[in-house]
Chains A and B, each alone.
Chain A
Amino acid sequence: MTIHNPNFVLMVEDLTVSFDGFKAVNDLSFYVEPNECRVIIGPNGAGKTTVLDLICGRTKATSGSVNFKGQELLKMREDQIVHAGVGRKFQTPSVYEDLTVFENLELSYPQGHGVFGALFFQRDDPVKTRIQEIAETIFLEDHLSEKAAYLSHGQKQWLEIGMLLIQDPELLMLDEPVAGMSVAERKKTAELLNRIINDRSVIVIEHDMGFVADIATRVTVLHQGKTLSEGSMERVQNDPKVIEVYLGH
């Protein structure tokens, strides 16, 4: 158990997960500061998504510690981790296709999370106002009554980001938010992310180096489940080890 250091929102220490002997994440440590935008890059199979899975409780760690504002996340259930203030966006857009954009956002509104809370949940004005607000942020204010299934790929990504924003998490984790987007959508997403990362900590996994340079405060390069290099974008880009295993290709 690590002691909480108020300089960091998230402290990952000696994190290891082993799948039948294969260590997808191996003795990994890193620290995220308040309001920092940390980008994790690395070749395929480096364990990037697994790290996010471990933090949000989707995968159980073999050993190590994930400390979020003094709480040990490895001992908590997924929904408890969400309530602690950690939001996670998946790599493929995970939205509720059979529901409208409005309903998608409403289900993510941080209220009525118990069975009876959900049963007697009232769609009152604060809820509607907040949904409207978020919809404007994610460029979907004209699509509120549309089914999510009819959105384009990029719009689904934005919707999922919106579903996280409405929870107002202190730590936001995004797995390849611009993958599969057109150039125009990418630009808009970068603008969106730059706006929403101001007052929270963010961990982003991304391959697009231009995009990374745009948003990153600091970059962590993963390789075979371990940190290969860490620091500013410039430093990482000039690190010979990084060039050899990742950027050189």
Chain B
Amino acid sequence: MTTAPSNRLFTKSEAIGFVILAVIVFAILPLALDTFRLNLFGKYLTYAFVAVGLVLCWGAGGILSLGQGVFFGLGGYCMAMYLKLEASTPENTSIQSTPGIPDFMDWNQLTALPWWWEPFHSFSFTLFAVIAVPVVFSFIIGVAMFRRRVGGVYFAIITQAVAAILTILIIGQQGFTGGVNGITDLRTLKGWDIRTDSAKEILYFVNGIMLFACLLTAQFIRKSKLGRLLIAMRDQEDRVRFSGYDVANFKIFVFCIGAAFAAIGGAMFTLQVGFMSPSFVGIVPSIEMVIFCAVGGRLSILGAVYGALLVNWAKTTFSESFPELWLLGLGALFIAVVMAFPDGLAGVYTDKIAPRIRKLLKRGPPALPAANAQETAAE
């Protein structure tokens, strides 16, 4: 059977792409940057989790969520609640009127820890909750929307509304959530001080490993029949339905996966940055996350990582020098990507750069068709 197309987890070029990214994340960045800058890049990489989830949901499945900040935030808040409880020992909080509860609760005249905070004393429960809370929440949204065949723009608007609602809820329930300031002053993880330089470096690598775990999961999904079904659904939803698939289940699944990735990113964000606040949950950050994905290329898993790095690096750099111009620049960038490079950086790479590299490497013989034929025949 020579006609069956390649079905392996990686094609040669994809494998090279993964290796190059691994070298950048695990070698070049740590060697080239001081701890402060490395920590910043670690923060940027936490957004890459969200962007990779969006590649699956939006790029492959055609489900545009403008509320990924919700899941990023839920994951981050779960982690922050654990760290906050650990930082709020009776000794540390002895000046409060009720020692032993988080400081913001004391300021809001709470005298006891709310019951739903209690389980977050346990680290293993917290790790479970970081994934479970956002996934259950996304599952509920997914069932409610996709079972009723809500999709496209309507779905995007509803996810955006959810992001707005959650922000308002967090800010409004100041005594339970820390309000607009969020949960701050996080110190230790099981007694290990996460504010030191060495901890920041270790956390950067943990973050990198988690990111690669998500990237590999995403790659596995893309290469499975489910990945091809997502693309099929995006283009011909009715044909998929009338081929015997319950389309809603697949949408719910991929939406939950996107939420789980975002949540891991959120938890790693809290660990590396040392706080979590509603400003990472609402509409603006959610839309920024979509821009990371669009700039990187919504069809490319690796492109999404580069998109998140590049846009965030640009944000830090330009907003240091021209704070008032940054938002306009971000808007212009998004418009430019949509108008001129609909497949983002990854599209520019495969259309413009990759053919040239191949030409340089092969010198002479017509490189493109030959290389393609090799790849498809290689099975």
Do the two chains bind? yes
Which of A's residues lie within 8 Å of B, judged by CB?
56, 58, 77-79, 82-83, 87-88, 90, 94-100, 102-104, 106-108, 110, 112-115, 118-121, 123, 125, 128-129, 131-132, 135, 141, 144-145, 160, 163, 167
Q: Which chain A residue shows the least CB distance to B236?
A: A94
CB-CB under 8 A for A98 and B235, given A115-B250, A119-B226, A167-B243: yes
B319 within 8 A of partner (CB): no
Q: Which residues of A contact B226 (CB under 8 A)?
A: 115, 118-119, 121
Q: Which chain A residue shows the least CB distance to B249?
A: A115
Decide: A107 and B253 in contact? CB cutoff 8 A.
no
Q: Which chain A residue shows the least CB distance to B221?
A: A119
Decide: A88 and B245 in contact? CB cutoff 8 A.
no
- B13: shortest Cβ distance to chain A, in Å? 17
Decide: A103 and B239 in contact? CB cutoff 8 A.
no
A78 to B250, CA, bound (A): 15
Decide: B229 and A107 in contact? CB cutoff 8 A.
yes
A110 to B243, CA, bound (A): 8
Decide: B236 and A102 in contact? CB cutoff 8 A.
no
B242 within 8 A of partner (CB): yes
B225 within 8 A of partner (CB): yes
The listed residue (A83, A113, A125, A145) touching B5 by CB distance below 8 A is: A145
Decide: A118 and B243 in contact? CB cutoff 8 A.
no
A102 to B6, CA, bound (A): 11
Decide: A79 and B236 in contact? CB cutoff 8 A.
no
A112 to B245, CA, bound (A): 9
Question: Most A CB atoms within 10 A — which of B3, B221, B225, B236?
Answer: B225
- A248: shortest Cβ distance to chain B, in Å? 35
Decide: B242 and A107 in contact? CB cutoff 8 A.
no
List 10 additional contacts besides A104-B232, A118-B225, A125-B1; criterion CB under 8 Å.
Answer: A78-B241, A79-B245, A97-B235, A98-B235, A106-B225, A107-B232, A107-B243, A115-B250, A129-B1, A145-B3
Which of B's residues lie within 8 Å of A, judged by CB?
1, 3-5, 7, 221, 224-226, 228-229, 231-232, 235-236, 238-247, 249-250, 253, 376
The A/B interface has a contact count, at CB < 8 Å, of 100
Decide: B3 and A141 in contact? CB cutoff 8 A.
yes
Decide: B236 and A95 in contact? CB cutoff 8 A.
yes
Question: Most A CB atoms within 10 A — which of B4, B243, B250?
Answer: B243
CB-CB under 8 A for A82 and B244, given A107-B228, A118-B224: yes
CB-CB under 8 A for A114 and B249, given A90-B239, A128-B1, A132-B1: yes
Q: Which residues of A contact B232 (CB under 8 A)?
A: 96, 99, 104, 107
Q: Which residues of A contact B376 (CB under 8 A)?
A: 145
CB-CB under 8 A for A78 and B225, given A98-B235, A99-B232, A107-B232: no
The listed residue (B1, B238, B244) touching A58 by CB distance below 8 A is: B238
The listed residue (A82, A100, A129, A141) touching B243 by CB distance below 8 A is: A82
A132 to B4, CA, bound (A): 9
Decide: A100 and B239 in contact? CB cutoff 8 A.
no
A-B contact pairs, 13 of them (CB 8 A): A58-B238, A90-B239, A106-B225, A106-B228, A107-B225, A118-B226, A118-B229, A118-B250, A119-B226, A120-B224, A128-B1, A128-B4, A132-B1
Q: Which residues of B contact A113 (CB under 8 A)?
A: 244-246
- B268: shortest Cβ distance to chain A, in Å? 25
- B374: shortest Cβ distance to chain A, in Å? 13
A104 to B229, CA, bound (A): 9
Q: Which residues of B contact A90 (CB under 8 A)?
A: 238-239, 242
- B218: shortest Cβ distance to chain A, in Å? 12
Q: Which residues of A contact B228 (CB under 8 A)?
A: 96, 99, 103, 106-107
Q: Which residues of A contact B249 (CB under 8 A)?
A: 114-115
Q: Which residues of A contact B240 (CB under 8 A)?
A: 107
Q: Which chain A residue shows the least CB distance to B372?
A: A145
Q: Which chain A residue shows the least CB distance to B247?
A: A79
- B257: shortest Cβ distance to chain A, in Å? 10
CB-CB under 8 A for A123 and B239, given A96-B232, A115-B250: no
Q: Which chain B residue shows the least CB distance to A169?
A: B244
Decide: A82 and B229 in contact? CB cutoff 8 A.
no
- A153: shortest Cβ distance to chain B, in Å? 16
- B61: shortest Cβ distance to chain A, in Å? 12
Decide: B242 and A88 in contact? CB cutoff 8 A.
yes
Decide: B238 and A144 in contact? CB cutoff 8 A.
no
A97 to B228, CA, bound (A): 11
Q: Which residues of A contact B253 (CB under 8 A)?
A: 115
Q: Which residues of A contact B244 (CB under 8 A)?
A: 79, 82-83, 110, 113, 167
Question: Most A CB atoms within 10 A — which of B1, B3, B224, B226?
Answer: B3
Q: Which residues of B contact A104 (CB under 8 A)?
A: 232
Q: Which chain A residue shows the least CB distance to B230?
A: A118
Q: Which residues of B contact A83 (CB under 8 A)?
A: 244
Smallest CB-CB A-B distances: 10 pairs: A82-B244, A121-B225, A118-B226, A94-B239, A144-B3, A96-B232, A119-B226, A118-B225, A115-B253, A128-B1
